[in-house]
Homo-oligomer: A and B are copies of this chain.
Amino acid sequence: KLEHFMKAFHEICESFSSIFSKLTGGGEGRLELQRPESPFSGGVDLYIQFPGKPMRLASGASGGERSVATIAYLLAIQSFLKAPFYFLDEIDAHLDSMNVSRLAEVLRERSSEAQFIVISLKDVMLHRADKIYGVFNPGDRSRVIALPMTIEVVS
């Protein structure tokens, strides 16, 4: 059980670091066992370092910075479990446009290996999509239309 856990944990750690670095343009993210000699008796710490800033525990970072760390953690777990499709519901709500743009880039890249269906209110995310669906409710029921990619999304 422990051996199996450690092998998987290292795999998740590696993809967490590489995804975090992509999401932050060169930042460093690390998952660390609080008690490496007896892993299950301790927790797992999440350390993050944004370019130009010192390394800190994720709990002391800002709302948006913690969001970025959490998304990297989620994507690392997803690449370990390897599902055929992913649904993400407004995970970019607290991100500024620079972070949304980097996230959109990472999702675009990963969408060549697995299907992504992402709900977002941010224009920057829409512009990177292969296809955009507009949902609206004129009054009595919801409807969906596929939006052509070339239109200027007017918010």
* Contact in complex: A90, B94 (CB < 8 Å): yes
Interface residue count on the A side (C-beta < 8 Å): 13
**B-contacting residues, A114-155, CB 8 Å:** 121, 137, 139-140, 155
The residues of B that contact A155 with a CB separation of less than 8 Å are 96-97
Nearest CB in chain B to that of A155: its residue: B97
**0/1 string, A80-96, CB within 8 A of B gives 1:** 00000000001001101
**A56 to chain B: closest CB distance in Å?**
14
Q: Apart from A93-B94, A96-B155, what are 9 other A-B pairs with CB-CB below 8 Å?
A: A52-B139, A52-B140, A53-B137, A53-B139, A63-B90, A90-B94, A93-B93, A96-B121, A97-B155
